[in-house]
Amino acid sequence: MTGIILLDKPKDITSFGAVARVRRICGEKKCGHTGTLDPMATGVLTIMLGGATRFCELLPSHNKAYIASFRLGTTTDTLDITGKILETRPVSATAAQVKERLRDFEGEISQLPPMYSAVSVDGQRLYDLARKGIEVERKTRQVTVYSVEMLGENEESGEYTIAVECSSGTYIRTLIADLGEALGCGAVMTDLRRTKANGFSIEAAVTLEQLAAAADNGSLNDIIIPVDKALEEYPVIKVSAAQAKRFSNGGELDLQRLKYPRMLGFFRVYDPDNKFIGLGEIGTGDSLTVKRVFTG
């Protein structure tokens, strides 16, 4: 079984746990996910099955979208509501001031990855260190927030909901915590839902219950997305039957024989029957080299 399951991850389960559930339902041992979601978060989790796992690290870095809720006046060690409360402060910020400050976080911004995150430092995951009470120095990273829109506000309780479109690698928890500091009262994320990732939107995602029902009635193939659907950002090269065989066996293809204009980068390679056979790469040489061969 090869392809992509676009899962609407439920709350209170890790991304690894969600993958394990999908593995059992689909009966496919080889499974991997892209873009970790925290246990408290829900929404789009892209899960690669079978031969599709070979392409995990080669998926284009698409923008992501989230709907997040937060509460002013509270800070925690995890930057979300599941953590240990570190401080509570009085809130004087109005809804209008929250909206005004949110605009400061649009565009390219600098973020410090939270200690409770999957970032590795010297070969160790930050969340493993954080659970031991160890805090280490982290490097800030540049991310881009394309838009922040206020969806809901309750000035009296200090609770708000926002929609965020951002680059890959953006931490919404950190954005909210930084917003709280900018307002002088602190803030904590109370809910997070990812609505877009890897070029897919939440409308195309299925729940674990829907996936299990499809497995029971034999319609799993109707849910599985072809792996090349996630690679559509890369242009297409079509090859002859002989070239397809050579490419599938790991051989390079001569650019002059392909009769394609020179364009550097990755390409989706298809045989004469429009069957996806893998990803190739054109560098500074005269050939299309094999990056990944599709084994589905």
Dist CA 121 CA 127 (whole Å): 10
The CATH number given to whatever domain includes residue 269 is 2.30.130.10
Same domain, 141 and 77: yes
Same domain, 101 and 174: yes
Closest CA to 171 of 75, 42, 68: 68
Same domain, 48 and 172: no
Q: How many domains does the chain have?
A: 3
Calculate the dihedral angle through the C-alpha atoms of 218, 223, 227, 231, rounding to the nearest 10 degrees: 170
Domain range enclosing 46: 3-58+202-229
Dist CA 54 CA 128 (whole Å): 27
> What stretches of 138-187 show up as alpha helix (H) in DSSP?
172-183
Task: Quote the pLDDT of residue 61.
Answer: 77
pLDDT digits (tens, 9 = 90+) for 14-39: 999 999 999 999 999 999 998 889 99
Percent pLDDT > 70 in the chain is 92
Same domain, 72 and 28: no
Domain boundary among 144, 177, 197: 197
Same domain, 93 and 30: no
Domain boundary among 197, 219, 243: 197
Q: Which of 38-47, 96-105, 127-136, 251-260 has the lowest mean pLDDT?
A: 127-136
pLDDT digits (tens, 9 = 90+) for 112-152: 877 566 666 666 666 665 565 666 666 788 999 999 999 99
Burial profile 31-69: b = 16 or more Cβ within 10 angstroms, e = fewer: bbbbbebbbbbbbbbbbbbbbbbbbeeebeebebbbbbb
Task: Quote the pLDDT of residue 107.
Answer: 97
pLDDT digits (tens, 9 = 90+) for 172-182: 999 999 999 99
Task: Quote the pLDDT of residue 117.
Answer: 61
Same domain, 215 and 258: no
* Active site (catalytic) residues: 38
Three-state DSSP at 74 gives: strand
Q: What DSSP character marks residue 55? A: G
Rg (CA), the chain: 22
Task: Quote the pLDDT of residue 115.
Answer: 58
Q: What DSSP character marks residue 206? A: B
Same domain, 172 and 269: no
Same domain, 129 and 162: yes
Name the amino acid, one letter, at 109.
I
Same domain, 71 and 188: yes
Same domain, 173 and 78: yes
Domain boundary among 176, 197, 218: 197
Q: Is the pLDDT of residue 102 over 90?
A: yes
Dist CA 212 CA 208 (whole Å): 6
Same domain, 101 and 142: yes
Is the backbone of residue 285 left (phi > 0), alpha (psi -120 to 50) or beta? beta
CB atoms near residue 195 (< 10 Å):
20
The CATH number given to whatever domain includes residue 28 is 3.30.2350.10
Q: Residue 248: CA atoms inside 13 Å, Cβ hemisphere, count?
A: 15
Mean pLDDT of the chain: 91
Same domain, 156 and 192: yes
